[in-house]
């Protein structure tokens, strides 16, 4: 019987993934096109605005690539965590079936989002490197590590928020308000080294700052990014994930019977 559990679980998750694809991207005009258009439009807007006031970006020669190096990992985190926070609410009608568990709902949304955001990131970064004279020397291994860190932290935050949003609906509004300044606090439009003390020490505790720094390490040869701590991001993400799944398991009856 144990040998049958894994295939059945995978079948359930894949069925939820197909449902997610149809509902999230199949019903809106353009479908997957918007997943690419949103970050491209954001990068274009930032490039236009800051190129008017500055002759060169803080790193490299391309404004578009510099802002992409910050915006891409930020959008990976925000999109994954936002989608996961609604996993139970989205799949609630199906959770009454014995074969569909709360973990299946979370993992299915995570899997589809990871596939989508990976493709989007490759298209954006690859397109900029091929189409423009960025003079960048990308390190694929470090870039992959940065994207993985963004997914890991987004998964941890999203899993914990999945419980909080489902158990306490008001948390969604609280989190939305608290998360608004994050765009300015993640070093997307500037470098970590340019921040004066003591604000730089405070900003170090923002995990997205480390993810953005890792992304720039992979794009700009010679950028040390000495402040980047992969261990910090991984341990924090793991802690949030374990706490989130534990709370979902502990209070699963209350989450399903609201």
Cα gap 129→119, rounded to integer Å: 15
Q: Nearest to residue 34, comparing CAs of 25, 46, 43, 23?
A: 25
Burial of 178 (0-12, 13-18, 19+ CB in 10 A): exposed
**pLDDT value at position 201?**
92
pLDDT tens digits along 94-147 = 777 777 788 888 898 899 889 888 988 888 888 888 887 777 888 999 999 999
* pLDDT category of residue 153 using cuts at 50, 70 and 90: very high
Strands (E), 79-130: none
Residues 6+ apart with CB under 8 A from 64: 43, 44, 47, 128, 132, 134
Residue 196 per-residue DSSP state? P
The full set of domain ranges for the chain reads 2-256
**pLDDT value at position 216?**
94
Tell me the two tokens of residue 80.
């994954």
Radius of gyration of the chain (CA): 19
Q: Nearest to residue 253, comparing CAs of 85, 96, 109?
A: 96
Residue 194 per-residue DSSP state? G
């Amino acid at each position: 019987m144990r040998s049958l559990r894994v295939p059945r679980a995978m079948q359930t998750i894949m069925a939820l993934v197909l449902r997610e694809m149809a509902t999230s991207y199949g019903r809106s005009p353009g479908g997957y096109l918007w997943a690419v258009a949103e970050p491209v439009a954001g990068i274009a807007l930032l490039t236009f605005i800051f190129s008017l006031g500055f002759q060169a970006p803080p790193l490299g020669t391309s404004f578009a690539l510099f802002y992409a190096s910050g915006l891409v990992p930020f959008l990976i985190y925000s999109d994954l965590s936002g989608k996961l926070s609604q996993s139970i609410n989205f799949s609630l009608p199906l959770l009454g079936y014995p074969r569909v568990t709360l973990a299946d709902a979370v993992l299915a949304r995570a899997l589809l989002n990871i596939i989508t955001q990976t493709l989007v990131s490759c298209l954006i970064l690859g397109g900029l490197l091929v189409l423009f004279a960025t003079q960048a020397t990308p390190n694929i291994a470090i870039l992959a590590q940065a994207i993985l860190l963004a997914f890991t932290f987004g998964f941890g935050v999203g899993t914990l928020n999945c419980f909080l949003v489902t158990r306490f609906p008001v948390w969604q509004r609280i989190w939305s308000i608290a998360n608004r300044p994050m765009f300015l606090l993640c070093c997307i439009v500037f470098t970590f080294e340019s921040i004066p003390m003591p604000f730089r020490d405070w900003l170090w505790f923002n995990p997205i700052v480390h993810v953005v720094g890792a992304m720039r390490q992979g794009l700009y040869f010679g950028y040390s990014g000495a402040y980047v701590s992969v261990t910090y991001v991984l341990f924090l993400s793991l802690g949030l994930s374990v706490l989130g799944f534990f709370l979902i398991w502990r209070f699963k009856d209350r989450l399903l019977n609201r």
